[in-house]
Amino acid sequence: MILLTVLSLPFMLREPIDLPPIVSVELIQISDKTVIPYAPKARKIIEETKKKEERVVSEQAPPAAKAKEKPDRIPLPDEKKEEKKIIKKKQNPEEIKPQIRQSSEFEKKELVDTNQIAALIDKAKEVEASEVRENNKITQSSKKNTFATGLTLSEEDALRAQIFGCWSVPLGLPYDQDLLVRIKLQLKKDGSIMKSEILDHERMNRPGQKFYKVLAESALRAVRLCQPLKVPPTGYDKWKDLQLNFNPTEMLKG
């Protein structure tokens, strides 16, 4: 009972809003741009890609569980560079964070930067993926501990596919804004969530960031709905901390 009272207290303290019975006379506030969500159009594309993805996953699944990860192989010179890039860039967004807080002027630049980084990472992953696939074709014998850098591709895909089902993307979002939400998770061994944290969570309460807030909340909902997450049965130390980057831009563009 005390809990209930305490819970409802702040709400009770709020002044009720007096509604004038007649039509109030106010001008419409007009923002610069119409938000054109193409979202439903994206549905088809997503379904297509989903099918594709499912296919890929099922194709990959058996070998990938044993798939060999790069660090365990002797890397090609090109690959090595790529790897370093990935790691450095991945750390970057967190290092940049204080700057983002300081000034909104920088924010855009920095965030654009993270996007580019994300793109780079994606590219790197694509390269990685094709290489792994090739490797799988050539030799199946390379069974290794896969957790030197984390998850294998198929493990990552399984996790992605799981979250895909849980994430109800807010359909009204604009497609031309930078809307990347990064969530850091601490996981238990069974894949349930111990702690979740939005990395730029101070941005949520900034004026003019309503869309970001909506997206961040939807991402959090997705993660919570999905738990326990589909994590590998072993290598807990490697994935107990996990970062998910939610980026709806591609989808919203349709």
Partner 1 sequence: MERSSTKLQPYRNAKRLNVIRYIFALLISFLYFSKSLALIEVDITRGNLDPLPIAVSPLHVDIKSEGYKDLKIKNLGDNIASIIEKNFKNTGLFNPLKKDAFVQKPDIAHLKPRFEDWRLIKAQALVTGKILIKDNKLKVEFRLWDLTAAQEMTALAFTTTPSNWRRVAHIISDKIYERLTGEEGYFDTRIIYVAESGPKNQRIKKLAIMDQDGSNTKYLTLGNELVLTPRFNPTNQMVTYMSYFRNMPRVYLLDIETGTQEVVGNFPGMTFAPRFSPDGKKIIMSFAKDGNSDIYTMDLDSRIVERITEHSSIDTSPSFSPDGKFIAFNSDRSGLQQIYVMRSDGGNVKRITFGKGIYGTPVWSPRGDLIAFTKMHKGRFYIGVMRTDGTGERLLTENYYQEAPSWSPNGRVLVFYRETKAGDRGEGFSAKLWSIDITGYNERRLSTKTDASDPSWSSLLSK
Q: Does 241 bind partner 1 (CB under 8 A)?
A: yes
β-strand partners of 185: 196, 242
β-strand partners of 193: 187
The stretch near partner 1 (CB under 8 A) out of 55-63, 99-107, 129-137, 164-172 is 164-172
- Of 52, 55, 189, 221, the residue at the interface with partner 1 (CB under 8 A) is 221
Residues 231, 155: Cα–Cα separation, whole Å: 7
User: Do 181 and 216 meet the contact criterion of CB atoms below 8 Å apart?
Assistant: yes
Kindly write out the interface string for residues 1-40 of this chain, putting x where it contacts partner 1 by CB under 8 A and - elsewhere: --xx--xx--x--x-xxxxxxxxxxxxxxxxxxxxxxxxx
User: Do 54 and 79 meet the contact criterion of CB atoms below 8 Å apart?
Assistant: no
Q: Does 57 bind partner 1 (CB under 8 A)?
A: no
Using the structure block, give the residue that is written with the tokens 């809307």.
Answer: 179
Q: Output phi, psi for 76, to 5 deg.
A: -70, 155
Q: Which two tokens stand for residue 210?
A: 């309503």
Cβ 138 to partner 1 shortest distance, Å: 25
Q: Does 172 bind partner 1 (CB under 8 A)?
A: yes
Which burial class, exposed, middle or buried, applies to 135 when counting CB atoms under 10 A from its CB (0-12, 13-18, 19+)?
middle
The stretch near partner 1 (CB under 8 A) out of 74-82, 97-105, 128-136, 158-166 is 158-166
Cβ 242 to partner 1 shortest distance, Å: 5
Cβ 139 to partner 1 shortest distance, Å: 24
Q: DSSP state, 244?
A: E
Residues 12, 6: Cα–Cα separation, whole Å: 10
User: Do 209 and 225 meet the contact criterion of CB atoms below 8 Å apart?
Assistant: no
Q: Does 148 bind partner 1 (CB under 8 A)?
A: yes
Cβ 154 to partner 1 shortest distance, Å: 13
Cβ 102 to partner 1 shortest distance, Å: 23
89-108 residues near partner 1, rule: CB under 8 A: 90-91
Cβ 27 to partner 1 shortest distance, Å: 6
- Of 59, 72, 122, 190, the residue at the interface with partner 1 (CB under 8 A) is 122
Nearest to 67, CA basis, from 141, 161, 124: 141
The stretch near partner 1 (CB under 8 A) out of 56-64, 97-105, 131-139, 210-218 is 210-218
β-strand partners of 241: 186
